[in-house]
A and B are shown apart, each in its own frame.
Chain A
Amino acid sequence: NAGVTQTPKFRVLKTGQSMTLLCAQDMNHEYMYWYRQDPGMGLRLIHYSVGEGTTAKGEVPDGYNVSRLKKQNFLLGLESAAPSQTSVYFCASSRGAAWGNEQFFGPGTRLTVL
């Protein structure tokens, strides 16, 4: 099993450009999450999904959109990138609350917005 994978691993954007980050998991997990990590800080939740076709806002959702059209994939979109969105983005998945909601993380995407 590959676990949680993310593409791309690195990306540089100019202000105003758009892009989509892809997260895929092969563990048949119901829940999926997007976090961002900034220097000296823990991770902060952007959006999450409790199942195919559902999404919800986290702590820092502004400037991002998400979609979960298939159970195994969770997409994070930036419609008009800003320098404040320079960060490392981590996707995570979990089996669900009944199993302790332990989250498993992908390798991360390092995004720089110039």
Chain B
Amino acid sequence: ELKVEQNPLFLSMQEGKNYTIYCNYSTTSDRLYWYRQDPGKSLESLFVLLSNGAVKQEGRLMASLDTKARLSTLHITAAVHDLSATYFCAVHSGGGADGLTFGKGTHLIIQP
């Protein structure tokens, strides 16, 4: 059974600081996704990582994937208040159309 673990589950940080969210998963997969969710809202796709060593960046967010370590990271550079949200990683375990297995999410609060 595929398990996806995120840490930390809760993070309060100050604007301007850097931090990293970690996502570990238990079985082989070469597809990993990061989503953002604002309170009471739907999930917004941030990154799709499809191969070992993949790195993607968008603004102050950068995601990477190490399939050998079964680890993905979401790095936040010089955080700003607008990045406050819950961030989920999700892993696609099947070769076909299987759904995603999600982590529990990291609730990120960025204080001015």
Contacts and interface: CB of A to CB of B under 8 A. Distances in A.
B104 A97 contact: no
Contacts of A90: 42-43
B99 A45 contact: yes
Report the interface size class on chain A.
20 to 34
A45 B88 CA distance: 15
Contacts of A48: 97-99
B90 A104 contact: no
Report the interface size class on chain B.
20 to 34
Interface in A48-105: 48, 50, 58-59, 90, 94, 96-97, 100-105
A58 B95 CA distance: 15
A48 B93 CA distance: 14
Contacts of A58: 99
Contacts of B101: 45, 59
Nearest to A4: B42
Given A41-B104, A43-B100, A97 B95 contact: yes
A40 B107 CA distance: 9
Given A97-B95, A97-B97, A44 B43 contact: no
30 contacts: A31-B97, A35-B99, A42-B88, A42-B102, A42-B105, A43-B100, A43-B102, A44-B102, A45-B100, A45-B101, A48-B97, A50-B96, A59-B99, A90-B43, A97-B95, A97-B96, A97-B97, A100-B31, A100-B50, A101-B92, A101-B97, A103-B99, A103-B100, A104-B45, A105-B35, A105-B42, A105-B44, A106-B42, A107-B42, A108-B41
Nearest to B6: A42
Nearest to A50: B97
A103 B33 contact: yes
